[in-house]
Amino acid sequence: MPTLFDPISLGAIEAPNRILMAPLTRGRASPGHVANDLMATYYTQRAAAGLVITEATGISRQGLGWPAAPGVWTEAQVEGWKQTTAGVHEAGGRIILQMWHMGRLVHPDYLDGEPPVSASATTAPGHAYTPTGKKDYEQARALRLDEIPGLLDDYAKATRNALEAGFDGVQIHAANGYLIDQFLRDGSNLRDDEYGGSPDNRTRLLAEVAEAVIREAGADRTSVRLSPNGETQGVDDSDPESVFPLAAEKLNDLGIGFLELREPGPDGTFGRTDVPKLSPLIRKAFTGPLVLNSDYGSEDGQAALDAGAADAISFGRPFLANPDLPHRFRAGLPLNESNMATWYTPGPEGYTDYPFAEEAVAAE
């Protein structure tokens, strides 16, 4: 069986190892949701990953509701991202852009008071982070049928912009309770048209988005992230076994470069160990490279490869504080601990100031 340090073909992307950097929201973008030189430094530091997947990036104003998160729908945003792709490529790395529409998790404050869109007129639990502080989420309106072509156009435009910015490919964010996930699951999708009801209908939007993206980037530079296990941000499904393997089968038929799954790892996500895993069923439905994410370290990540459960592992929190994570794994070195208080704060602290292994040794 392969090791974490063996190369892998992820569609058109030749990754030198199977230690991928998972998408991680960090909230460091400049006004106008523009990627900047600080972000370029951060990603370039982590270019030793087999593949860097960027933080979730808004495809449109309608789809983005997170302070200081980046976008990819304006010319300025495209220009801003060019610093990052150039830096990662100069360091010998590979990087793709994760494309984001948050759906009902966009607060009306980001939309001049207009309600957000979702599969149905539902309200997310909890609070939104707005430029003026935490606020309760507000009820979304159901996306109309005549608006879906425009949504697909937004994904296509974001894909073209990502390629113009120099990315090696794109990932469709269809996980974590955001718009596409809101369509996939019957807890948030109450529609009675061709996008609601049966699993085939609820997976229709995902397939159509993937088709729109593939027309721009090619299937071999397109990937998708799903989170098939349990409730996330108020989104859940009564029978996930009927939905997610079918979604994987449709993506397999489209020939995407790889599929990433966020599911509870060996120790459970945030302490949860009660959520059944669907990755074995999805593994049967999707014959391309499968990437698993959440809660993995080097040993259990390698164990997943040894068992044939995955072809690569994407690491999130370990990459926050360890820009040289592949080196630390290979050398068996201890990992830096990340400072949760600085995960989303502006500036370099807790972002670009974590030491590389050699620096840590010199400091000692």
Q: Hey, which residues are catalytic here?
A: 178
Amino acid at 210: A
Contacts of 332 (CB under 8 A, 6+ apart): none
Contacts of 282 (CB under 8 A, 6+ apart): 226, 228, 244, 245, 248, 259, 261, 290
Q: Where are the beta strands (DSSP E) in the chain?
A: 8-10, 13-15, 19-21, 52-58, 95-100, 117-118, 127-130, 133-136, 141-142, 170-173, 222-226, 258-262, 290-293, 312-315
CB 203 within 8 A of CB 181: no
Angle at 33 between CA 29 and CA 38, to 5 degrees: 20
Angle at 155 between CA 153 and CA 161, to 5 degrees: 100
**What are the b/e assignments for 160-180, b being 16+ CB within 10 Å?**
bbbbebbbbbbbbbbbbbbbb
Cα–Cα distance list, 176 to 105, 179, 211, 239 (Å): 11, 9, 21, 17
d(CA 103, CA 106): 6
CB 335 within 8 A of CB 343: no
Among the listed residues 44, 64, 47, 48, the one whose alpha carbon sits nearest the alpha carbon of residue 56? 64
